[in-house]
Amino acid sequence: MKKTTILLGAGAMIPFGGPSVRTITERLLNHKSCEYVYRVVQQGFEEKCNFETLISALELLLEWNLSNDKTRHLTFQDTSIYRNVFQLGIPFQYHTTDKVWEIYKEIVNDIIEVIKDYDYYPQYTGIRYGKNPTMLDSFVLKLQKESNLKIYTLNYDRLIPNVIGNKLDVYEGVECESFCYNLKKFSNYHLTYYNLHGSIYIDCNPYTGIKLLDRPVELENAILITGGNPNEQKIFLPIIAGYHKSQRMMSQPFNFGLGAFMCDCDDCETIVIVGYSFSDPHINSILSNYIKTNKTEIIIVDYSFDCVLPRRMINTVKRVFKTDTDFDRVEDGVYRNTNDTITIFIKGFDNYIDYFLNHTTK
């Protein structure tokens, strides 16, 4: 049986009630402390900062406060965010680490609440999302009949496993709530799902360790882990965001998911990339080096208001997948390169699912 790999970005969940980056950012700015952090960090940026920038700034402050060597702030001059965080740290230097931690928890827990608003789980009895997610259920049910299905998401939800429920055995690399680091077992499973950038279902406790629970978990504790440099302490948190994604991906359980994603990109016959902005260098590197256009069918699903393929998207796809072939319009909102190896569907994920469910071929 062939293998299909799916990568879900932030745009994939918007038709089902998922928030945009802008929505989350605007909600967080209702907090007075967040609004102040935002104003300071925004200095020097040409584009508007978002919630990931806020998280990065507070993480840097926390790790700086935890450091025994406060002269580390001298290295904060390297990039604009470091420089601004250093300026942010001046008024915060009289606050304890606990004060910064409380602000950080407030932000993360508010993000968790946003995700819970659309992420279905058994405690909710009503539909709390945009479109009925049963179409996701139907999509997965049909696709897994045709191929081994490997689903990876950059979002923090478990919407797909939750709507599938007990209809299928979805393996998330977890046994008895503990992560099981067995790539061979993960690879051999017919249907798998993994949160590459963490999940609101991950509980990190200094006494019980890192667990994946069956319910969303508010952030209460943090675990210190070894950073990328000798004697550098970093904070393990259940979600990965901001400017240190690549470094944080090297800690368990995230590096396991990254390794599995590499393997499934390397030997899949089809990859479907949904709602991904191609803005994460570590993900782009995997796609660029492990997806071969001469052996893998590439389907990119996104949304364009006027169904016209943006030139920027064409350039990005060519760069990431190392191809210089042109794209032709096949039908309204559907474009394909001249080699017939890359298809771009820009009518949204919900319409792509409808298209897939009602056609015998993709």
Distance in angstroms (rounded) separating the CA atoms of residues 255 and 166 = 28
**DSSP string over 106-159:** HHHHHHHHHHHTT---TT--S--SSS-THHHHHHHHHHHHHSEEEEEESSS--H
Q: What share of the chain is helix, strand, coil (3-state, %, to 5)?
A: 45, 20, 40
Q: At what angle do helices 80-92 and 51-66 cross, to 10 degrees?
A: 60
Whether residue 111 contacts residue 226, with contact meaning beta carbons closer than 8 Å, is answered with no
Token pair in block for residue 172:
């998330």
Contacting residues for 134 by C-beta, under 8 A, at least 6 apart? 163
Is CATH 2.20.28 the right assignment for the domain spanning 3-17+131-175+182-197+255-357?
A: no
Residue by residue, pLDDT tens for the chain (362 residues) are: 899 999 999 899 888 888 888 888 888 888 777 777 777 777 656 567 788 877 877 777 777 666 654 444 434 444 445 555 555 554 555 455 677 788 888 888 888 888 888 885 544 433 444 456 778 888 999 999 999 999 999 999 998 998 888 888 999 999 888 898 899 999 999 999 999 999 999 998 877 888 999 888 888 877 766 655 666 667 778 888 876 777 778 888 899 999 999 999 999 999 999 999 998 999 999 999 999 888 899 999 998 877 777 788 888 999 999 988 888 988 888 999 888 889 999 999 999 999 898 875 54
Helix (H, G, I), strand (E, B) or coil at 345: strand
Whether residue 310 contacts residue 322, with contact meaning beta carbons closer than 8 Å, is answered with no
**Domain limits, the chain:** 3-17+131-175+182-197+255-357, 19-116
Token pair in block for residue 226:
């070894």
Q: Are strands 270-274 and 297-301 parallel, antiparallel or unpaired?
A: parallel
Distance in angstroms (rounded) separating the CA atoms of residues 177 and 210 = 9
Token pair in block for residue 309:
């393929």
Phi, psi of 99 (to 5 degrees): -65, -45
Q: Pick the closest to residue 342 from 275, 271, 289, 261 (CA basis).
A: 271
Any idea which residue has 């350039």 for tokens? 315
Neighbours of 288 (CB within 10 A): 14
Give all strands of the β-sheet with 191-195 in edge-to-edge order.
191-195, 148-153, 3-8, 270-274, 297-301, 342-345, 334-337, 327-331
Helix (H, G, I), strand (E, B) or coil at 262: helix
Prior bond of 253 cis (ω within 30°): yes
